[in-house]
Amino acid sequence: MQTLSEIRSILAERGLRPKHRLGQNFLHDKNILSKLVEAADISHGELVLEIGPGTGTLTETLLEKQAQLIACELDASLADIIQDRLGEKLKLIKGDCLDSHRKLSAEIVAALGDRPFKLIANLPYQIASPLMCTLLINHPYCTGQFITIQKEVAQRLLASPSTKEYGPLSIIVGALADVKRICTIKPTCFWPQPKVESAMVSIIPKQNFQLEHPESFARFVTELFTKRRKQLGSILGKDINWPDGVTADLRPEALTVDQIIELALTIN
């Protein structure tokens, strides 16, 4: 894995500096990176998608594990670094990983094909939530996500009902996957140091979930939580066969993930 000095040197050779507008904070702590790779448990020849490889610190480690790697980099200058250093060992896609509809880009979809894959990445914070959700909703061949995200987002993923962190992201991801925290990360593990703490999480799709149309469920949850402080009866109407434990006077934020799933199935 690249040291902080090596990361600085790689960028300096090309007259580059981290771009704040692209959320470029380079993770350089070897022990923390090792935890992410260990949690992902990569097998020889396994297909892996990495978003935002930067200078290639995690990328090199994934290649050492004999992963078949697809990497997507938005920053053209960093993409050139990856191409020059590692281009023959991976499939590099230059551009945004998400299209205008916040879905996985057509180029990535084509490169993945209908093959099982894992997402292993230190994600730019601004794309984390839409990327996590679109992989769960639209890409059943994704067998797991092992990612670095903002600590606040990790708290939302793991939130309980009736807490301020609990919302659509908690419910959509919780309905479709099992989430575990791998570790938390201090700002000092990054260069430049972000103003917030980070966390690594694993997101493993559930084998048998009840939702036949997860995209419709996601829309239902998002719309429901635009009125999270209102009672369910005033949002949905009172003439509903309420699931067990759910009553018209409850607010959306009080319901468990399973109760919201049952409510969605009842209405739809």
Give the pLDDT confidence of 7-19 residue by residue, as tens digits: 999 999 999 999 9
The pLDDT of residue 212 is 87
Same domain, 9 and 119: yes
Give per-residue pLDDT as tens, 200-215. Answer: 999 999 987 778 899 9
- Boundary (domain end) residue, out of 160, 188, 205: 205
Single-letter code of the amino acid located at 122: N
* pLDDT value at residue 82: 98
Segments forming the whole domain that contains residue 240: 214-267
Cis peptide before 205 (omega within 30 of 0): no
Q: Kind of pairing, strands 142-150 and 117-122?
A: parallel
Q: Using the 3D structure, point to which of 160, 187, 205 is the last residue of a domain.
A: 205
Q: Is the domain of 188 the same as that of 239? A: no
Q: Give the CATH number, domain containing residue 224.
A: 1.10.8
Q: State whether the Cα torsion 40-41-42-46 is positive or negative.
A: negative
Ranges assigned E (strand) in the chain: 26-27, 47-51, 68-73, 91-94, 117-122, 142-150, 177-185, 190-191, 198-205
The answer to whether the CB of 227 falls within 8 A of the CB of 252 is: yes
Mind listing the pLDDT tens digit for each residue in 98-154? 998 899 999 999 999 999 999 999 998 899 999 999 999 999 999 999 999 999 999
pTM of structure: 0.96
128 and 252, same domain (yes or no): no
Q: Are 191 and 131 in a shared domain?
A: yes
Question: Tens digit of pLDDT for each residue in 32-80?
Answer: 999 999 999 999 999 999 999 999 999 999 999 999 999 999 999 999 9
Query: What number of other Cβ atoms are within 10 A of residue 26's Cβ?
Result: 19
- 177 and 233: one domain? no
Q: Count of domains in the chain?
A: 2
